[in-house]
Structure 1
Amino acid sequence: MKHLAIDTPVMSEAEGTVLLDELELHLHPLWKKRIVTKLRELFPRVRFVITTHDPLCLRGLAPDESYVFRLNPASEEIEATALSILPGMDVDDLLTGGWFGLGTTYDEETEDMINELSVLSLREDALKVRGDAILPEHERVQMEKLSQDLRDRLRGFAASEGERQTLADVARRGLAAPDVLEVEAETLQARLRQAFGRLEE
């Protein structure tokens, strides 16, 4: 503001380009959600180029204003990919989407439980597709225990479409198991919902 005031003391009339690295530093989460909108209001004629590692700071961006920069190991060049922020996206959608690349936001122990249950669920589906026998008793008991433990641990687990998609993605990685056949995404999601006791009417 001191620099912009050299040309005009009225910030609503100031013009220029401002580079801000790590916008999220030292900001309360509430401020992070509001910072982009407030910068627009206070400096309507200033162009901001901002970097951040915090999904809350993506609030207030227009659909065509978000880019992800990554190093391409093959070419050793930085590549920019435009990824639009859509209204209504929650923080988990952003963290597990293309912006930050996380597979899930759960803690490692919970993620391991989800992975284990997903692999067992896929194995059960594969046996049904082949017409083979059901899962061995010890694996069925393990599935029931994992399902109950996750229901107790995570109230409302897999209640949203975003969470179901994350679960499906985790489960698809389990398809690498040698004795599991690939199944359709809808079948996968239905099986996972059933495993968590959230089978829809």
Structure 2
Amino acid sequence: MNSTTISRSLFFYLLSAFGISLTLKASIGVSSFNSFNATLAAFSQLKVGTITTGVNLLFLGACLFLDPHPLWQNYLMMASALFFFGSTINLCYYLLLPSFAVPSYVGNVLLFITGTVIAGIGTGKVLKYQFLKFPIETFCVFLAERTKYSFAFYRQAIDFVCIGLALALSFLGHLPLMVREGTLISFLLLSRVIARAKE
């Protein structure tokens, strides 16, 4: 693995975090996984990037448990990248974007689509370079290898669980809904952008 691939992987990893920050700023809902993170952040009064890092670290720990031949240096690298990932979300969302005002609903929809495309490109490129991995997808791969169910089954199951938990927390805590039209836009658009960026 050469230094160019490593630096590009880190760049696109953080680009994905920036895209997520834009979708949060749009305030029309977010993707299924991020809807849980954003709702839990509001419920716990922690920053959304901090929650995102924490939840991803839990999945990373599960991957380590399931991995029959773990390479510790890879897991340490992924853990470090996750801290940078969450910090980038916090930096963009709480420090850089608050002063950025979108005057209309249509503008917010366009901002969300822009953020989704940026996040998708970042994610797709990271997957293409195969240096850094996303813990949830890796966790689903391990489960699929050990059971009769497919990767898609487990990945969609996690999405549904995240949406359910986000809705439950929203109603219990009387919090703004994060499962909205943005969630549907992300469902329709994100995977296509990721697939194209991987080519």
Give the TM-score of the pair, scaled to structure 1.
0.25
RCO greater where, 1 or 2, for CA within 8 Å and sep 6 or more?
A: 2
Q: Which protein has the bigger helix share? A: 2
Q: Which protein has the bigger strand share? A: 1
Give the TM-score of the pair, scaled to structure 2.
0.25
